[in-house]
Chains A and B, each alone.
Chain A
Amino acid sequence: MCGTTNDRQPYATMRMVCLAVFLGCCGILTGCPDPPLTPDAPYVVVEQGVARISIELVSLGKAGKNLSPSEIIIFGPYHKATKTVTPMPGEYSYDNDEVPSFLIFTPHQRVSEDVLYAAQELVHGQITEYDDSFWNPDEDPTKILICPPDESLLPANHLKFYVHFSRPMRPTESWEHFSLKDLRTGELVPRPFRHIDLWDEQNRRLTLWFHPGRQKTGVNLNEDLGGILTAGHRYLLLIDPQWKTQAGQPLDGSVKKRYAFTASNADHEQPDPNNWELTPPTLDTVEPLIISFGEMLDFATARKVITACSNNEEIIEISQQADWDGTRVKIFPSKPWVAGSYTLALNPRLEDLAGNSLERPFEVDLSSETTDFAKKLTLTFEINQ
């Protein structure tokens, strides 16, 4: 899905969604259209001629209550001179049956490249046009991939996102290019991000922090303003399409505008290796040992979870590859596995999404009698002949 905070031009141009392999094996990317008129305007994605038009329900306000879907939005060919939208037949659905954030319209017919279309939001009468550029995918967009992945369930005390760009970005004051929208209230969350630029050496991966002072219990900002996320609410992380790559190219239609996630209850529990599941590899292969964490952990530290691997005290050279959602890590040997009893030393700094590590919780209640928080730091597995 795509969306934006931008309100730069009255004439919205939309481009096709593209799917691209990004960073080798990292995952599937969704490119997306140029920004519509306002953050709340309907947005459209098209895959192989099939369009999906979505509108944020919260943007309709009280006037949108008790209306049937067809009284909220229509989509179809647009006659510019008369400003008339001819509704296409189609189906209406919601993104979530219990607490919907979006109304989605899917036309029965495929859309045509030769036709000018528009979506009309009927509550306020706003029309958003989609011209021919909507049909022409940007041949060379800057691809963006955010970790944890889109549509994740994140704890209310979630700490950070890793935002990957396929091109080096202009790295200064990066937090200014992001905003966070609460889809339950329709409001932008005030000052959610820490003002710090934390990039990799190529300026292609940004670590975007939620303001830790608001995410930590007992710290003054948390007490004054409360946390950033509310459990049960759905959010959009929005990226400014005018943010430029180092070469000066605006992200524009490259922005994956509708990065959505839902907040769950805060997580104060440390990851516990006792709950992990190991899938041992096969003898004489270089197939990976797979460790399943049973929860989403921090992607960056998950791929460094093993600090040493040994077989009867002989150090084995390995490499590690974490799943993009941080739920698993694969351990590859440099040489085929041989039979033996293996021991894995674990990185005590491995964190979950809320900063709780194997070493200790992110925040410690000093009135608690517990002083030793360290989880076990070794795992063992056998490979038999």
Chain B
Amino acid sequence: MIRQPSIRYTAILFLCAALFFTPGSQTDLAAETSKPILADVQTGTIKRIGRMSFAPNGVLLIADIGSGAVVAIETDDTGPVKKLKSRVNDVDKKIATALGVSTADLSIADMAVNPESGMIYVSAIRKTDNTSAIITFDANGKLTILDLTAIRFVRVPLPVGEGSQIRNISGVEYTDGRVLAAGQSNEEFSSKIFSLPLPLTHGKSGDAFSTETYHVAHGKWETRAPIQSFIPYREGGEDYVVGSFACTPIAKFKVTDIAKDSKIKGTSVVELGSGNRPIDMFTYEKDGKQWLITNTDRFHHEKRPLGPSQYWGVRVDMSYLTASKVNADAARRDVSKQTGPAGIEVVEALFYVRHVAKLNNREMVVLRDNKGAMDLEVKELP
């Protein structure tokens, strides 16, 4: 059956586009405690969990890759901060044992850290029955399986386009006034950014916005490109999304450009070198300077290893994001060295790291592949 055009729906979207976008600020979760984040909270369960991140007040945002929705959970985990005291070895084996399977039947989807408590959250999928689980590790490294049958949550379905559903959500992030998500359809080669207004309301997706993202390669070729990982970012009073495109550079675009059916063109600001699939991203401040951390899976590792592992990470001086040289002239990491040009540095602590999350401006939590076993530990930021 064909879809009937909905003038009313379109009008609502445009009205919201006009009213909704107001300048926000770079997320500071500790300061965001008073605004309502969730509405019409449900009880029940969720099943397929992918990427995760934290919003204020212990709200865990997760990508439900099974239903193409963003789910927000009230964890009641609001502190005080107690960071992991010492390394936890064999995290994958411990999770697999807790879930009653071998590590071969376990897939770790993501890791997030609640900055308000230091609690570490790992999402995993038990392959034998395709059931998802969220596992927490406290300061003592104690493992607890979150009871997903007794959670309070809201589910916000991402809007569908032309009958195709979003079947992969590559990131979900809170920023001032909204939640952003990036997703991809299982049919069209379209990567979309969704802006979900606060409070997130169960079942309400009508005033979400979606758009395609375009990428310019070498200033000459313009193609659609899926976003692999992203963070919200504020610059000169404007809100931006800084994203890593699959196989392409770090690029940014304005949040205010997100409108129904618009085509956003990302401006490439840093090129890390080809064949690196970005995994996680976050920013931190040190000595008055803003840095971006991202870890990647190196496509070229076997033929052109960068270090001891295909998993490696880099930190980038955030001033590159405001540099005048962009796209074809954007800064390129010197692939022949560990460091360079100035402000683009390979981070040794991120070798072998499958997932990394910010704990605070001094420390990060890493989930490291240690010769086939996964270890969890807190490392200092460079």
- 0/1 string, B1-27, CB within 8 A of A gives 1: 111110000000000000000000000
Q: A198-B168, A218-B217, A219-B247 are in contact. Are A224 and B222 (CB under 8 A)?
A: no
A170–B130 touching, CB < 8 Å? yes
Q: Interface digits, A106-134 against B, CB 8 Å rule (1 contact, 0 not)?
A: 00000000000000000000000000000
Please provide the 9 A-B residue pairs with the shortest distance between their CB atoms, ordered closest to farther: A213-B247, A220-B274, A218-B221, A300-B187, A198-B186, A218-B217, A172-B107, A364-B222, A207-B186
Report B339-367 residues with CB < 8 Å from chain A CB: none
| A3 adjacent to chain B (CB < 8 Å) | no
Q: How far is the CA of A315 from the CA of B275 in the complex (A)?
A: 49
A-B contact pairs, 16 of them (CB 8 A): A170-B127, A171-B130, A173-B107, A195-B277, A197-B65, A212-B246, A213-B248, A213-B274, A214-B247, A221-B274, A301-B188, A317-B2, A320-B2, A362-B223, A363-B223, A365-B221
Partner of B221 from A197, A217, A349 at Cβ < 8 Å: A217
How many pairs of residues, A versus B, come closer than 8 Å at their CB atoms? 137
Known A-B contacts A203-B130, A319-B1, A347-B162; the reply to A220 vs B223 at CB < 8 A is: no
Instruction: Enumerate chain B residues within 8 angstroms of A211, measured Cβ to Cβ.
Output: 247
What residues of chain B lie closer than 8 Å to A198, measured between beta carbons?
167-168, 184-186
Chain B residues within 8 Å of A374, by CB: none
CA distance A319 to B187 in the complex (A): 19
A301 to B186, CA, bound (A): 11
Q: A304-B162, A363-B221 are in contact. Are A221 and B127 (CB under 8 A)?
A: no
Closest Cβ of chain A to B358, distance in Å, is 24
CA distance A347 to B299 in the complex (A): 36
List chain A residues, Cβ under 8 A from B277. 195
Q: Is B128 on the interface with A (CB-CB < 8 A)?
A: yes
Q: Tell me which of A85-93, A181-189, A305-313 binds B.
A: A305-313
CB distance from A169 to the nearest CB of B (A): 9
Bound-complex Cα distance A196 to B125 (A): 15
Give the chain A neighbours of B164 by CB distance below 8 A: 300, 304
A365 to B218 alpha-carbon distance, docked (Å): 11
Distance from A146 Cβ to chain B, minimum over Cβ atoms (Å): 15
Q: How far is the CB of B162 from chain A (nearest CB, A)?
A: 6
Other A-B pairs beyond A160-B189, A200-B186, A213-B274, 18, CB < 8 Å: A170-B127, A170-B128, A170-B130, A198-B184, A213-B275, A219-B247, A221-B274, A248-B128, A298-B187, A301-B187, A349-B162, A349-B188, A349-B190, A355-B189, A362-B189, A363-B221, A364-B221, A365-B221
Choice from B167, B184, B218 contacting A218 with Cβ under 8 Å: B218
**CB-based contact A307/B2 at 8 Å:** yes
Decide yes or no whether A177 CB sits under 8 A from chain B: no
Q: Does B163 contact A (CB under 8 A)?
A: yes
Judge whether A199 and B167 touch: CB under 8 Å. Answer: yes
Q: Is B224 in the interface zone, CB < 8 Å from A?
A: yes
Give the residue name and chain of the B residue nearest to A195 (CB): B277
Residues of chain A from 282 to 320 with CB closer than 8 A to chain B in the complex: 298, 300-301, 304, 306-309, 315, 317-320
Query: B103 at interface (Cβ–Cβ under 8 A)?
Result: no
- Kindly list chain A residues whose C-beta atoms are within 8 Å of the C-beta of B247: 211-214, 219-221
Which residues of B sit under 8 angstroms from A317, Cβ to Cβ?
A: 1-2
Q: Does B219 contact A (CB under 8 A)?
A: yes
Is there a chain B Cβ closer than 8 Å to A375's Cβ? no
Closest Cβ of chain A to B46, distance in Å, is 14
Is there a chain B Cβ closer than 8 Å to A151's Cβ? no
B67 lies within 8 A of chain A by Cβ: yes
**A71 close to B (CB within 8 Å):** no
Map CB proximity to B onto A50-84 as digits: 1 under 8 Å, 0 otherwise. Answer: 00000000000000000000000000000000000
**A139 near B: Cβ within 8 Å?**
no
Check A306 against B65 for contact (C-beta < 8 Å).
Answer: no
Bound CA–CA A218/B219 (angstroms):
9
Whether A252 sits at the interface, judged by CB under 8 Å, is: no
Q: Which residues from A are CB-within-8-Å of B224?
A: 355, 362
> Is B176 in the interface zone, CB < 8 Å from A?
no
> Is B369 an interface residue when CB atoms closer than 8 A count as contact?
no
B220 close to chain A: CB less than 8 A: yes
Annotate A149-161 by CB proximity to B: 1 below 8 A, 0 otherwise. Answer: 0000000000110
Alpha-carbon gap, A196 to B167, bound state (A): 10
* Cross-interface CB contact of A307 among B162, B167, B168, cutoff 8 Å: B162
Residues B167 and A304 in contact, CB atoms below 8 Å apart: no
Query: Is B67 a contact partner of A201 (Cβ separation < 8 A)?
Result: yes
Determine whether the beta carbon of A220 is less than 8 Å from that of B221.
no
B100 at the interface (CB under 8 A from A): no
Contacts of A308 in B (CB 8 A): 2, 4-5
Name which residue of chain B comes closest to A364, CB basis. Answer: B222
Q: Is A216 located at the chain interface by the 8 A CB criterion? A: yes
CB-CB under 8 A from A199, the residues of chain B are 167, 186
Q: With an 8 A cutoff between CB atoms, is B269 at the interface?
A: no
Task: Give the docked Cα–Cα distance between A199 and B66 (Å).
Answer: 9
Give chain B nearest CB distance to A196 CB in angstroms: 6
Q: How far is the CA of A120 from the CA of B290 in the complex (A)?
A: 67
> Is A246 close to B, CB under 8 A?
yes
State the CA gap A191–B275 with chains docked (Å). Answer: 10
In the assembled complex, how far is the CB of residue B331 from the closest CB belonging to chain A, in whole angstroms? 14
Do B167 and A216 have beta carbons less than 8 Å apart?
no
Q: How far is the CA of A237 from the CA of B325 in the complex (A)?
A: 42
A349 to chain B, nearest CB (A): 6
Contact with A along B244-281 (1 / 0, CB 8 A): 00111000000000000000000000010111010000
A217 and B184 CA atoms in complex are apart in Å by 21
Q: Does B231 contact A (CB under 8 A)?
A: no
CB distance from A206 to the nearest CB of B (A): 8
Tell me the complex Cα distance, A334–B76, Å.
Answer: 52
Partner of B188, one of A171, A216, A244, A351: A351
A223 to B217, CA, bound (A): 11
Q: Is the CB of B221 within 8 A of A212?
A: no
Which A residues lie within 8 Å of B168 (CB)? 196-198
Nearest residue in B to A246 (C-beta to C-beta)? B130
Chain B residue nearest in CB terms to A363: B223
- Knowing A195-B277, A197-B168, A224-B274, say if A172 contacts B127 (CB, 8 Å): yes
- A170 (CB) vs chain B CBs: closest residue: B127
A152 to B274, CA, bound (A): 31
Which residues from chain A contact B223 at a C-beta distance below 8 Å?
212, 216, 219, 362-364
Task: Answer whether residue A25 sits at the interface, using C-beta atoms and an 8 A cutoff.
Answer: no
> Within 8 Å CB of B129, what residues of A?
246
The answer to whether B127 touches A366, judged by C-beta atoms less than 8 angstroms apart, is no
| A17–B221 CA distance with the chains assembled, in angstroms | 46
